[in-house]
Amino acid sequence: MRELEEIRADIDDIDEEIVRLFKRRMDCAGEVARYKIGKGKEILDKNREQAKISRALAVMNDSKYDQAVEELFMQLMSLSRRYQYRILGEVDTYIEDHFTRVDELPIDQNTTVVYQGIPGAYQEEAMVKFFGEEVKNFSVKEFKDVLVTLDEGKADYGILPIENSSAGTVSGIYDLLLEHDVFVVGEVQVACKHMLAGLPGTNLREVTTVYSHPQALMQCDKFLSVYPWGKATALNTAMAAKKVSEEGLKRHLAICSERAAKLYGLEIYAREINHESNNCTRFVVFSKKKLYRKDAKKVSVSFSLPDEHEIGSLHSILGHFTFNSVNMTNLESRPLPNRRWEYGFYIDVMGNLMDPEVENALKGIREEVYDFKILGNY
């Protein structure tokens, strides 16, 4: 048996040779990219890649290394493609052809915004926080109605909740993004500070029922556990406040925002009763126009995989971000409608569509997935 240092010396020599061969291989990959650009050929050639793997396995001729060799060549070819996409990105005009970069979003006295819910809801509070108190606005009943309204050209912007810090992703919003041709142009966060509110002069010892959205009731469960009150659900926290105000019964309370309490003439009897003090909801602003600000810092995309049952397929796609030094901040998956056991992926990364690194990563992903869509840059 050889001494360890002697073996390591051999490994060092082999690794140096691997690096030299790797550089030579990548230089050749660059030549291939430039040839394909000139001939209008696609970068990804699955038949060629599979043939390369089969040939490598035949050359190895040792079954105990088969899996390792296959993985090695899959990674090598993946790295080659990413390098080729970077070269191709130098002449790619997809972003410029589909999106418009602006200094500021076009908002003026004629701008109209649509939101879901009623005045006093957290959705309305988010709208006011983003657009200001004076913006023209109206509300609709369902989440989907916000995007339908935009499709019909009845509003310039729409706003919807997409994520809560304690409850996670808001169900159904990602699905709506695929059903409508809208673009995320902004986001705003609203702290969910739940207040206990009722009619002026309410005696808490005489209260029988507290109303709110089921999620708000759950988030205030620790506070409510010391009282013998019944719990009743409402469509949202503002609807709870409106109900208590309109019924005029001092035995009823609502859990709502401070804005809703003031709007419906209620008195606040306890402040910030939710047990998670950092509870916050993230809202996104939509437009039919594919605009993005020059200082936008987050890009959201969606796609499905050509063969998600192939080992490492998602890892290979995400590698485009790593190769281009793009930081991924969020990854969600959702079942695809009418496609059993198939999923769509929703990803947030840091950056701007005009950043070369972002543009190169998205170029590579766009070429290798199905249903690719840039959801927004904001």
- Helix, strand, coil percent content, the chain, rounded in steps of 5: 45, 25, 30
Look up residue 283 and give its two tokens.
């809202």
How far apart are the C-alpha atoms of 171 and 326, rounded to whole Å?
27
Closest alpha carbon to 259 in 127, 138, 119: 119
Cβ(347)–Cβ(312) under 8 Å?
A: no
Between β-strands 298-304 and 370-377, what pairing exists: parallel, antiparallel or unpaired?
Answer: antiparallel
Task: For residue 244, report the phi and psi dihedrals to the nearest 5 degrees.
Answer: -65, -40
Task: Count how many residues are written for the chain.
Answer: 378
Cβ(332)–Cβ(375) under 8 Å?
A: no
Which residues are catalytically annotated? 281, 283
Inter-axis angle of helices 66-89 and 356-368, nearest 10? 120
Cβ(285)–Cβ(187) under 8 Å?
A: yes
